[in-house]
Amino acid sequence: MDSEIKEEIPVHEEFILCCGVETQVLKCGPWTDLINNHSSTRPKLLIFIIPDPNAEEIKDIYGVRGQVEHKLAFLRTQVPKEMKLVVIGHSIGSYFSLEILKHAPELPVIRSILLFPTIERMSESPKGRFATPLLCWLRYALYVPCYLLLKPWPEKIKFLAIRMVLQMMDIPREFLCMNMLEPFCLVNAAYLGSQEMREVVKRDDETIKEHLPKLIFYYGATDSWCPKEYYDDMKKDFPEGDIRLCEKKIPHAFVMSFFQEMADMVADWLKDDLSKM
């Protein structure tokens, strides 16, 4: 029986200070320092997926605009200017990807892939109609109970609670993250969500039109955050664009159970781009 040999790709984690905020960076590959490494082994392409000591602090870092500026600051300070980029965004990360193209046209982005893109009418979507009042008005009432109930919990209890939830949802344990029950993280996530409902309204057709040849859109067939009618509108308004509809019943939150399928699909889409490097 043939055996498939898979190359081990090193993955390491770093925490850097970017825009005055401690930022977790997961690096996949043998390289560590892109800026100071000028050897022939330095990669020619960086795939930047949207999760500095000299960076200027950003006002409202946990808001929509602050998050865009944070990603731009990382690219401008941590990545060599001449290095080609592939930018992949999921959900609100797709909105950030378009904003990067809009506000930093000097970056050598050769491809941007927008997965289940929440780039318009978020509050009007089925999930948005439910989330908007919760995030925009009721979240303040949840802050105090959140701190009172979760802050005193011992780390062991938090670990057991998160593991139990993951088991109930049939989610692999690799996704276990202790920050999930940190009040600080929950509050900031709710704040960002409230801004998304208010600010992600009108689709940025001008930026899409300008960068259409390098964009790939991938919509879910049953996505309650960006329903199929949003896909239909995109196909109608940009018939020449690479706009795809999922035929594999992959959910919006694919990172929970369909991460391998999505990774294989995206890798296949990038074959032509990578072959030209």
- Percent of the chain past pLDDT 90, that is, above it, reads 45
Please state the CATH superfamily assignment of the domain spanning residues 8-121+200-264 in this structure.
Answer: Alpha/Beta hydrolase fold, catalytic domain (3.40.50.1820)
Pairing of strands 84-90, 242-245: unpaired
Q: Which of 91, 123, 125, 194 is catalytic?
A: 91
- Catalytic residue from among 90, 94, 123, 252: 252
> Mean of the pLDDT values across residues 109-130?
96
Higher pLDDT, 226 or 62: 226
DSSP H helical segments within the chain, as ranges?
64-78, 92-103, 126-136, 139-150, 155-168, 183-199, 205-211, 228-237, 259-269, 271-275
User: Which residue shows structure tokens 């062991």?
Assistant: 156
The answer to whether residue 223 is catalytic is yes
Token code pair at residue 189 = 């996530």
Q: Indicate whether 169 pLDDT > 50.
A: no
| Range in 47-51, 149-153, 203-207, 266-270 the model is least confident about | 149-153
Structural domain spans, the chain = 8-121+200-264, 123-199
Does the annotation mark 40 as catalytic?
A: no
CA dist 81 → 34, 102, 104, 108, 187 (Å): 10, 17, 12, 8, 35
- Of 112, 123, 194, 223, catalytic: 223
Count CB neighbours of 189 within 10 A: 15
pTM: 0.79
Average pLDDT value for the chain: 82
Task: List, for residues 181-224, the tens digit of each pLDDT value.
Answer: 566 777 888 889 999 999 999 999 999 999 999 999 999 999 99
**Strand 84-90, strand 45-49: pairing:** parallel
Q: Is 52 a catalytic residue?
A: no
